A and B are shown apart, each in its own frame.
Chain A
Amino acid sequence: MTATEIEPRADWRSRLPDGPAASTWLREHGVYVALLLLVLYNVVATANFVTLDTLQLLFSQLPPVIIVSLGMALVIGTGGVDLSVGTTMAIASAVLAKMVIAPSQGGFGASITVAMIAAVLAGLAVGVFNGVVIAVARVQPIVATLGVLVAGRGIALVITGGALIELFVPFFKEVRLGKLFGVPYVMIVAGVLALIISFLVRRSAFGYRLLAIGGNRRASVLAGLPVKRTLITVYALSGTLAAVAGVIATARLRASDPSYIGVLFELSAITAVVVGGTALTGGRVRILGTVAGAVLIQLLETTLVSHNAPDSVARIVEALIIIAAVWIQRTSRRNR
């Protein structure tokens, strides 16, 4: 046998024996790197970025995206997708308005507490509906939730009577401006929800089942897991969280506008989840990554706005980020 010489080959892959490992790293940590780069870019290139105002603005915009993304992360973890979150926000907002306005204006004149509970229950109902259609009737998630995406805004418009309803609720000022140790209440709510969801994913039997179903549904059925119940719960959570986000968005807007609230939120949420390292194919959920992804998306929009780029550009960049993230997921799964 001749002496083996280790010569470098023309094939680039041979010089990157840890190619898959590198892209696995990128999949898990890419979102933090991207976020860091974007912050650095802003510090250098955006006027007045390093001010408390910018941070405050970001903090006030972030909670709805984060909260919706948390639910989306669970749904995507099961290998599904929830396209209805944006319209669910609109429905919750419409229900809130309908409950809170005076009977003379066609409402119920309920207290804000009751109205908020009703709004969240409406989101829960939408989620349960999605879950039943998907788990029991076995309609593909993308189709089932697309139906709600299409019909939902119409439902919201019917509830509000087709118009924007301005809301004068003192409590909304609290929601907008209230702070604890300088942190807005809504940000604390988003943070606590993120912690709860993260805990559920890591430690609860529910989280365990969700990941198993996303990893291999057939095997989960044969292992005796309550697959239907788990899926319905996941979509119910997604709907509920979307409704909470809808309430916050309504408070920020001081109005319920079914044709504005939650528009394209499904896209932002999916981006946040996928960029954060959750597998689109299911079976792996990253909650911290999802939160970072949501911050990334929001900061990106803020950046583009402050550089006077039109909103449509933000959508294009968002789409590119999704493609890049999915591509990274694919490369890190190769050779497995």
Chain B
Amino acid sequence: MTTTAGPPVLAVTSAGKRFAGVTALEDVSIDLYAGSVHALVGENGAGKSTLIKVITGVHPLDTGQVRLRGEEVSFASPRAAQQAGIATIYQEVHLAPQLSVARNFFLGREPTRFGSLDLRRMNREAQAELEKYGILADVRRPLAELGLGVQQMVAIARAVSADASVVIMDEPTSSLEPREVDRLLDVVALLKSQGVAIVYVSHRLDEVFRACDMITVLRDGRLVSTGPTAELTRRQLIARMLGRDAGELSEGNLTRLNSRREVADAEPVLRAEHLNRRLVLEDVSVVVRPGEVVGLAGLLGSGRSETVKALFGALPLDSGAVEVAGRPLRRQTPASRIRERVAMLPEDRKAEGIIPGMSIRDNIGLAALPQLTRGGLVSRKKVDDIVQTFMKRLRIKATNSNQKVSELSGGNQQKVLLARLLCLNPRVLLLDEPTRGIDVGAKAEVQALITELAEKGMAVVLISSELEEVVEGSDTVVVLRDGAQLGQLVGSDISEDTIMDMIAEAASDEAPAVAS
């Protein structure tokens, strides 16, 4: 196989695609070369997913063509694309979690012996293949027992071992820990050295700059630019993705950096003490005052989401007490918290947040239903008023409030969920990954909103897997590891270095976690 240069393995020429009259892709061309990593970036709704889907046969093209090694192709299904050597790795692992790692590795092309599965051969070969990618797991164990990152890599190894010459990765790192990201990028480098053409879709710009040779920027379904990574600065890239002036962007960042406030010594509005839950939380205490942003820092699995869930009553506790405005709450249910105007934005927008079949309007009104209802009937006028107010305030982009929420981009869905919470006029806002998986523009808007709400006296608890976001946005940071509290940082003590030091120090005290 050749590496770099030469004719492209896969070439898309002036691709166009419309859905129900809406242009999803217009005149987009992209060339993929063997042994080259090509980043595909853009805000949500830029057309990245559509481009991937027309390449892999999920949607047929309206105009333009796809050429694989010079020959025009039009795959009737993702399976046909796979057989032609185009493998797609999605952010959710599309494998069978209950089957063993080896069986997943061979899924759909299992070796047989006398008409039955040759398990020994499968285990042996899977183990050997996976070792090449640094996966040292016991291949006889169910896939579900592995970490998400390792599952992701099994999926990649599986795809590549099935003779893929093109590997498309759609946000492969969005749910991975930093350590896992490193390993994934090692695998990407390995594939690259084997002459595979790689498409890498990611919101995380450092990964893009670290791993990719070429960057293609899409915006509103059109090609903005395509070229070598070396010719772009980070600032330029962000500007191209947003279609904004680079200067304006940096200005926005500066204001946020300077907006750290002194929190008055007000009475805490939320006080949670000695929260315990076997194997999940160990003596975690959180106190939040009006106008204060408390960040929860820690790695994935450190108990930060569980802490927020416990504060919200969505996690049963073995012991511990939660007080809102000085009143102890006996019932550990979300409904009891909402009555006390404590609201939570869940981590998993799709599974725990939106009601996909419902309209924007109905999704926004959901939590505040009791306030919008009289005599058992929902007041249309009240709902309309509140929905209009928040759609305007949060700048939710939609044709109208009756549009289905599932048709919106991730950023706008997140804003719908925030609107749902703000309808409650909450005293405490618990935000679990408010900016995950949303585009740069919406992210800045959400961050600004959090700051604004805190300035108006709301108490906020913030979780983000981006340390920078926690550091910049919080007045107090609680550092967690393995479900236990490592300590608390206030004001000028908060920095990425201090937090990482705390986590690293705690880690060295004990045997390192088994890296599957």
Contact = CB atoms under 8 A, between A and B. Distances in A.
A222 B363 CA distance: 13
B70 interface: no
Interface of B: 13-14, 16, 18-20, 29, 58-64, 74, 76, 312, 314, 334-335, 337-339, 344, 346, 351-358, 362, 365-367, 369-370, 372-373, 376-378, 406, 420
B76 A208 contact: no
Interface stretch (A12-20, A93-101, A240-248): A12-20
Given A18-B20, A221-B334, A13 B64 contact: no
Interface in A204-251: 204-206, 208-209, 211-212, 215-216, 218-226
B14 A219 contact: no
Given A208-B378, A283-B355, A222 B346 contact: yes
16 contacts: A1-B14, A4-B16, A10-B74, A13-B60, A17-B19, A17-B20, A204-B378, A216-B352, A219-B355, A222-B314, A222-B334, A223-B420, A224-B338, A225-B369, A226-B335, A283-B357
Contacts, number: 106
B357 A223 contact: no
B1 to A, nearest CB: 29
A215 B377 contact: no
Interface of A: 1-2, 4, 6, 9-11, 13-14, 17-18, 21, 203-206, 208-209, 211-212, 215-216, 218-226, 279, 283-284, 335-336
A223 B366 contact: yes
A6 B62 CA distance: 7
Nearest to B383: A208
Given A6-B63, A205-B369, A223-B420, A216 B377 contact: no
Contacts of B13: 1-2
B515 to A, nearest CB: 31
A203 B378 contact: yes
Given A17-B18, A215-B356, A216-B356, A224 B337 contact: yes
Nearest to A5: B63
Contacts of B62: 6, 14, 17
A17 B23 CA distance: 13
Contact of A224 (B14, B367, B372): B367
A224 B334 contact: yes
Contacts of A2: 13
A206 B376 contact: yes
Nearest to A199: B377
A205 B367 contact: no
B314 A208 contact: no
Given A205-B373, A219-B355, A283-B357, 10 more contacts: A4-B64, A14-B61, A17-B19, A205-B377, A209-B369, A216-B355, A219-B353, A220-B366, A221-B314, A223-B366
B314 A9 contact: no
